[in-house]
């Protein structure tokens, strides 16, 4: 019996960079629609790829390597003083892990988050169809980690489950609750979730040194980065 054909990779055309204004970017993408993507997803994560909707991609820009894949070895993680304060400040928050899916409550929070945190970011016109395509997808084993206080939905952390890891796909939260540090809180609960289930890593996507919306990932230590051939500890001086 012949060996099955390997999954195919494609370069996208150049497009405006989503992180740095005025720059162009392009991605390396596994063939969309290949029915083997679900089975290959864990391996792709271990190679520094990431999911957005049904696309599995990795930035591959000419002359730029700013996007660094990072993950947390959850067994070794210990919250720092600031993260412990975040947990204490949110002692009233209840955590639930639920099937991925769209609801009026989740969509309304998502829209307020985009308007409050990413105005003009290219996602302002997202409707319910785009919500489902971007955050749920058709083949991923995704869950929504919900954070609530007094029954009110504060945040949703879209999280993928693979063989021995979780992947933090996207988090949206109430922009009026900035003092709670809901983005940090969501990651702390994802780490706890992974640890409870005996999973080895929480993938955080891409760290960009010095970027005002991406540099926060350096605060979760220890942190590993993918350097092309494997995962290595990210030196704390770099982070």
Taking residues 3-14, what's their average pLDDT? 87
**Tens digit of pLDDT for each residue in 130-154?**
888 889 888 988 999 999 999 999 9
**Between β-strands 142-149 and 94-99, what pairing exists: parallel, antiparallel or unpaired?**
antiparallel
pLDDT band at 212 (very low <50, low <70, confident <90, very high): confident
Q: Look at residue 123 in the predicted model and tell me its pLDDT.
A: 59
Residue (of 191, 190, 152, 156) closest to 171 by Cα position: 156
pLDDT band at 74 (very low <50, low <70, confident <90, very high): very high
Asked whether the predicted pLDDT for residue 120 surpasses 60, the reply is: no
My answer on whether 73 and 174 are in the same domain is: yes
CA distances from 31 to 55, 57, 81, 143, 179 (A): 8, 10, 43, 24, 41
My answer on whether 53 and 86 are in the same domain is: no
Q: Is residue 121 domain-resident?
A: yes
Q: State the Cα–Cα distance between residues 239 and 218, nearest whole angstrom.
A: 5
CATH number at residue 136: 3.40.630.30
Taking residues 60-89, what's their average pLDDT? 96
Per the structure, how many domains does the chain have?
Answer: 2
User: Which residues constitute the domain of residue 83?
Assistant: 69-233
Q: Look at residue 3 in the predicted model and tell me its pLDDT.
A: 65
Q: Look at residue 80 in the predicted model and tell me its pLDDT.
A: 97
My answer on whether 23 and 125 are in the same domain is: no
Judged by DSSP in three states, 24 sits in strand
Domain ends where: 67, 82, 110? 67
For the chain, the first-to-last Cα distance in angstroms comes to 49
Q: Look at residue 225 in the predicted model and tell me its pLDDT.
A: 97
My answer on whether 165 and 226 are in the same domain is: yes
My answer on whether 146 and 182 are in the same domain is: yes
Residue (of 72, 12, 17) closest to 205 by Cα position: 72
Domain ends where: 67, 89, 104? 67
My answer on whether 18 and 129 are in the same domain is: no
Q: Look at residue 126 in the predicted model and tell me its pLDDT.
A: 65
């Amino acid at each position: 019996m012949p060996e099955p054909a390997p999954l195919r990779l494609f370069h996208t055309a150049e497009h405006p960079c989503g992180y740095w204004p005025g720059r162009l970017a392009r991605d390396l993408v596994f063939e969309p629609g290949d029915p083997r993507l679900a089975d290959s997803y864990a391996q792709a994560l271990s190679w520094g790829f990431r999911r957005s909707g049904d696309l599995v991609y990795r930035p591959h820009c000419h002359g730029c390597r700013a996007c660094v894949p990072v993950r947390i070895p959850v067994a070794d993680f210990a919250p720092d003083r600031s993260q412990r304060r975040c947990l204490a400040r949110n002692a009233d928050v209840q955590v639930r892990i639920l099937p991925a899916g769209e609801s009026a409550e989740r969509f309304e929070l998502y829209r307020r988050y985009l308007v409050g945190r990413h105005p003009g970011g290219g996602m302002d016109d997202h409707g319910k169809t785009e919500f489902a395509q971007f955050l749920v997808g058709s083949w991923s084993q995704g869950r929504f980690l919900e954070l609530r206080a007094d029954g009110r939905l504060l945040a949703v952390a879209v999280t993928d489950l693979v063989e021995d890891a979780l992947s933090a796909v996207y988090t949206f939260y109430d922009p009026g609750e900035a003092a709670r540090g809901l983005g940090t809180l969501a990651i702390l609960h994802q780490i706890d979730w992974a640890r409870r289930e005996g999973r080895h890593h929480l993938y955080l996507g891409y760290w960009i040194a010095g970027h005002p919306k991406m540099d926060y990932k350096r605060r979760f230590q220890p942190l590993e980065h993918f350097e092309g051939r494997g995962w290595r500890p990210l030196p704390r001086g770099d982070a």
